[in-house]
Structure 1
Amino acid sequence: MPASAASAARTILTRLHDVMASRSHAQAKLNTVVEVIGEGLDSEVCSVYLLREGMLELFATRGLAQEAVHVTRMAVGEGLVGTIAQNTEMLNLAEATAHPDFSYRPETGEEKFHSFAGVPIVRRERAVGVLCVQHAEPRRYEEVEIEALQTVAMVLSEVIANAGLVDEEEALLSPALTGPQRLPGLALVKGLAIGAAVFHQPRITIEHVMAEDRDAELSRVYLAFDKMREQIDRMASQAEFGVGGEHEEVLETYKMFAYDEGWSRRIIEAIDSGLTAEAAIERVQQRTRMRMRQIDDPLLADRMHDLEDLSNRLLRIVSGQMGTAATMGLKQDAILIARNLGPAELLEYDKRRLKGVVLEEGSLTAHVVIVARAMGIPVLGRVRSLRGAIREGDLLLLDADAGHVTARPQPAVVDAFEARFAKSKERQAAYAKLRDVEPFTRCGTRITVMMNAGLRDDMPGLALTGADGIGLFRTEFQFLVSATLPARERQTRLYRDVLDAAGDKPVVFRTVDIGGDKVLPYLRHNDGESEENPAMGWRALRVALERGGLLKVQARSLLEAAGGRTLNVMFPMVTEPWEFDAAREVFESQLAYLKTQKKLLPEAIRYGAMLEVPALAEQLDVLAPKLSFLSIGTNDLTQFLFAADRANPKLAERYDWLSPAILRFLKRVIQGVAGHSVDVTVCGEMGGRRLEALALLGIGIRRLSITPASVGPIKELVRKIDLDEIGKAMNGWLMAPPPSLRQALVDWAQQRGIDCD
Structure 2
Amino acid sequence: MASRTGAQAKLNRVTEIIAEALNSEVCSIYLLRDGVLELYATKGLAQTAVHVTKLGMGQGLVGTIAETRNPLNLAEAGNHPAFVYLPETGEELFHSFAGVPIIRREAAVGVLSVQHVDPRDYADVEIEALQTTAMVLSELIASAGLIDDLSIAKVRAQSSGQVRLNGLKLVDGLARGIAVFHQPRVIVEHTVAEDIEYERKRVYDAFVRMREQIDRMVGQAEFAGPGDHEDILETYKMFAYDEGWSRRINEAIDSGLTAEAAIERVQQRTRERMQKIDDPYLRERMHDLEDLSNRLIRIVAGKLGTAAQLGLKQDAILVARNLGPAELLEYDRRFLKGVVLEEGSLTSHVTIVARAMGVPMLGRLKDLTRVVVEGDPLLVDATTSALFIRPTANVVKQFQAVSSLRARRQAEYAKIRDLPATSKDGIDVKLMMNAGLRADLPGFEEVNADGIGLFRTEFQFLVSATLPRRERQTRLYRDVLEAAGDKPVVFRTVDIGGDKAVPYMRDELHEEENPAMGWRALRLALDRGGLMKVQARALLDAGAGRVLHIMFPMVSEPWEFDAAKALVEEQRAYLARTNRPTPKEIRYGVMLEVPALAEMLDTLFPRIDFMSVGTNDLTQFLFAADRADPRLADRYDWLSPAVLRFLRRVATAAKAAGKPLSVCGEMGGRPLESLALMAIGIERLSITPAAVGPIKAMVRSAEILPLREAMAGWLDSGCSDIRARLTEAADAQGIIRN
Q: In structure 2, what is the equivalent of residue 498 of structure 1?
A: 480
What's the TM-score once normalised by structure 2's chain length?
0.72
Task: State the secondary structure of the residue aligned to 1:678.
Answer: coil
Is the counterpart of residue 434 in structure 1 residue 416 in structure 2? Answer: yes
Q: In structure 2, what is the equivalent of residue 686 of structure 1?
A: 667
Q: In structure 2, what is the equivalent of residue 538 of structure 1?
A: 515
Q: In structure 2, what is the equivalent of residue 631 of structure 1?
A: 612
Q: Relative to 1, partners in 2 of residues 1:410 and 1:542: Cα closer, same or farther, differing over 3 Å?
A: closer
For the Cα contact (< 8 Å) 1:173–1:389, is it kept in 2? no
Q: In structure 2, what is the equivalent of residue 561 of structure 1?
A: 538
Q: In structure 1, what is the equivalent of residue 301 of structure 2?
A: 315
Q: In structure 1, what is the equivalent of residue 591 of structure 2?
A: 610
For the Cα contact (< 8 Å) 2:55–2:62, is it kept in 1? no
Deviation at 1:58, TM superposition (A): 11
For the Cα contact (< 8 Å) 2:308–2:330, is it kept in 1? no
Q: Distance in 1 between matches of 2:595 and 2:62?
A: 52
Q: In structure 1, what is the equivalent of residue 223 of structure 2?
A: none
Q: In structure 2, what is the equivalent of residue 663 of structure 1?
A: 644
Task: State the secondary structure of the residue aligned to 1:562.
Answer: helix
Provide Cα deviations, 1:43-69, integer angstroms capped at 9, x if missing partner: 9999988789999999999999x9x99
Task: State the secondary structure of the residue aligned to 1:425.
Answer: helix
Deviation at 1:699, TM superposition (A): 0.8
For the Cα contact (< 8 Å) 1:454–1:475, is it kept in 2? yes
Deviation at 1:753, TM superposition (A): 3.3
For the Cα contact (< 8 Å) 2:341–2:368, is it kept in 1? no
Q: Distance in 2 between matches of 1:705 and 1:54?
A: 55
Q: Relative to 1, partners in 2 of residues 1:526 and 1:193: Cα closer, same or farther, differing over 3 Å?
A: closer
Task: State the secondary structure of the residue aligned to 2:453.
Answer: strand
Deviation at 1:698, TM superposition (A): 1.4
Provide Cα deviations, 1:479-509, integer angstroms capped at 9, x if missing partner: 4434555555554544444334333322231
For the Cα contact (< 8 Å) 1:682–1:705, is it kept in 2? yes
Q: In structure 2, what is the equivalent of residue 735 of structure 1?
A: 716
Q: Relative to 1, partners in 2 of residues 1:266 and 1:138: Cα closer, same or farther, differing over 3 Å?
A: closer
Task: State the secondary structure of the residue aligned to 2:656.
Answer: coil
Q: Distance in 1 between matches of 2:570 and 2:25?
A: 82
Match of 2:428 among 433, 446, 450: 446
Q: In structure 2, what is the equivalent of residue 695 of structure 1?
A: 676
Q: Relative to 1, partners in 2 of residues 1:619 and 1:712: Cα closer, same or farther, differing over 3 Å?
A: same
Greater CA deviation, 68-77 or 479-488? 68-77
Deviation at 1:721, TM superposition (A): 3.9
Q: Relative to 1, partners in 2 of residues 1:282 and 1:637: Cα closer, same or farther, differing over 3 Å?
A: same
Q: Relative to 1, partners in 2 of residues 1:467 and 1:492: Cα closer, same or farther, differing over 3 Å?
A: same
For the Cα contact (< 8 Å) 1:335–1:354, is it kept in 2? yes
For the Cα contact (< 8 Å) 1:499–1:507, is it kept in 2? no
Once the two structures are superposed, the pairs formed by residues 18-37 of structure 1 within 5 Å of their partners are 25=9, 28-35=12-19
For the Cα contact (< 8 Å) 1:45–1:63, is it kept in 2? yes
Deviation at 1:163, TM superposition (A): 6.3
Q: Distance in 2 between matches of 1:272 and 1:84?
A: 27
Q: Relative to 1, partners in 2 of residues 1:739 and 1:672: Cα closer, same or farther, differing over 3 Å?
A: closer
Provide Cα deviations, 1:284-315, integer angstroms capped at 9, x if missing partner: 88799999999989999889858845743663
For the Cα contact (< 8 Å) 1:358–1:383, is it kept in 2? no
For the Cα contact (< 8 Å) 2:552–2:564, is it kept in 1? no
Q: In structure 2, what is the equivalent of residue 459 of structure 1?
A: 441
For the Cα contact (< 8 Å) 1:118–1:131, is it kept in 2? yes
For the Cα contact (< 8 Å) 1:612–1:632, is it kept in 2? yes
For the Cα contact (< 8 Å) 2:170–2:382, is it kept in 1? yes
Is the counterpart of residue 509 in structure 1 residue 487 in structure 2? Answer: no
Is the counterpart of residue 592 in structure 1 residue 570 in structure 2? Answer: yes
Task: State the secondary structure of the residue aligned to 1:555.
Answer: helix
Q: Distance in 2 between matches of 1:650 and 1:53?
A: 45
Q: In structure 2, what is the equivalent of residue 10 of structure 1?
A: none
Match of 1:370 among 340, 348, 352: 352
Q: Relative to 1, partners in 2 of residues 1:169 and 1:448: Cα closer, same or farther, differing over 3 Å?
A: same
For the Cα contact (< 8 Å) 1:188–1:369, is it kept in 2? no
Once the two structures are superposed, the pairs formed by residues 129-140 of structure 1 within 5 Å of their partners are none
Deviation at 1:419, TM superposition (A): 3.0
Is the counterpart of residue 419 in structure 1 residue 396 in structure 2? Answer: no
Q: In structure 2, what is the equivalent of residue 756 of structure 1?
A: 737
Task: State the secondary structure of the residue aligned to 2:519.
Answer: helix
Deviation at 1:338, TM superposition (A): 3.1
Once the two structures are superposed, the pairs formed by residues 189-588 of structure 1 within 5 Å of their partners are 189-193=170-174, 195-197=176-178, 199=180, 205-212=187-194, 274-275=256-257, 279=261, 308=294, 311-312=297-298, 315=301, 330=313, 334-339=315-320, 346-347=328-329, 351-359=333-341, 364=346, 368-381=350-363, 382=365, 384=367, 392=375, 394=377, 396-406=378-388, 409=391, 413-483=395-465, 486=468, 490-504=472-486, 505-515=488-498, 517-518=499-500, 523=505, 531=513, 537-539=514-516, 542-544=519-521, 547=524, 551-563=528-540, 565=543, 566-574=547-555, 576-577=556-557, 580-582=558-560, 584-586=562-564, 588=566
Q: Relative to 1, partners in 2 of residues 1:426 and 1:692: Cα closer, same or farther, differing over 3 Å?
A: same
Provide Cα deviations, 1:79-134, integer angstroms capped at 9, x if missing partner: 99979985x7999x9xx99xxxx999899999999xx9998754213455677999
Task: State the secondary structure of the residue aligned to 1:626.
Answer: coil
Q: Which amino acid is the alignment partner of residue 734 of structure 2?
A: G
For the Cα contact (< 8 Å) 1:192–1:378, is it kept in 2? yes
What's the TM-score once normalised by structure 1's chain length?
0.70
Q: Distance in 1 between matches of 2:680 and 2:345?
A: 32
Greater CA deviation, 385-394 or 477-486? 385-394
Q: Distance in 2 between matches of 1:523 and 1:133?
A: 58
For the Cα contact (< 8 Å) 1:488–1:554, is it kept in 2? no
Q: Distance in 1 between matches of 2:603 and 2:300?
A: 57
For the Cα contact (< 8 Å) 1:568–1:608, is it kept in 2? yes
Identity percentage of aligned residues: 46
Q: Distance in 1 between matches of 2:387 and 2:416?
A: 32
Q: Distance in 2 between matches of 1:58 and 1:640?
A: 63
Q: Distance in 2 between matches of 1:335 and 1:427?
A: 25
Task: State the secondary structure of the residue aligned to 1:406.
Answer: strand
Task: State the secondary structure of the residue aligned to 1:436.
Answer: coil
Q: In structure 2, what is the equivalent of residue 3 of structure 1?
A: none
Deviation at 1:701, TM superposition (A): 0.4
Provide Cα deviations, 1:129-158, integer angstroms capped at 9, x if missing partner: 67799999999979xx99987655532322
Q: Distance in 2 between matches of 1:140 and 1:404?
A: 43
Q: Distance in 1 between matches of 2:465 and 2:102?
A: 37
Superposition RMSD in Å: 5.8
For the Cα contact (< 8 Å) 2:157–2:390, is it kept in 1? no
Q: Which amino acid is the alignment partner of residue 509 of structure 1?
A: R
Match of 2:688 among 696, 707, 714: 707
Q: Which runs of 5+ in 2 are unaligned?
A: 86-90, 214-236
Deviation at 1:683, TM superposition (A): 1.8
Q: Distance in 2 between matches of 1:206 and 1:689?
A: 46
For the Cα contact (< 8 Å) 1:210–1:275, is it kept in 2? yes
Q: Relative to 1, partners in 2 of residues 1:653 and 1:156: Cα closer, same or farther, differing over 3 Å?
A: same
Q: Which amino acid is the alignment partner of residue 593 of structure 2?
A: E
Provide Cα deviations, 1:643-694, integer angstroms capped at 9, x if missing partner: 5454555654454333333222211222244432432211222211222222
- Tell me the matched-pair count: 686
Deviation at 1:377, TM superposition (A): 1.5
For the Cα contact (< 8 Å) 2:12–2:42, is it kept in 1? no
Q: Distance in 2 between matches of 1:467 and 1:45?
A: 75
Q: Distance in 2 between matches of 1:308 and 1:134?
A: 34
Q: Distance in 2 between matches of 1:376 and 1:80?
A: 47
For the Cα contact (< 8 Å) 1:292–1:301, is it kept in 2? no
Q: Which amino acid is the alignment partner of residue 450 of structure 2?
A: D
Q: Which runs of 5+ in 1 are unaligned?
A: 1-15, 233-255, 532-536
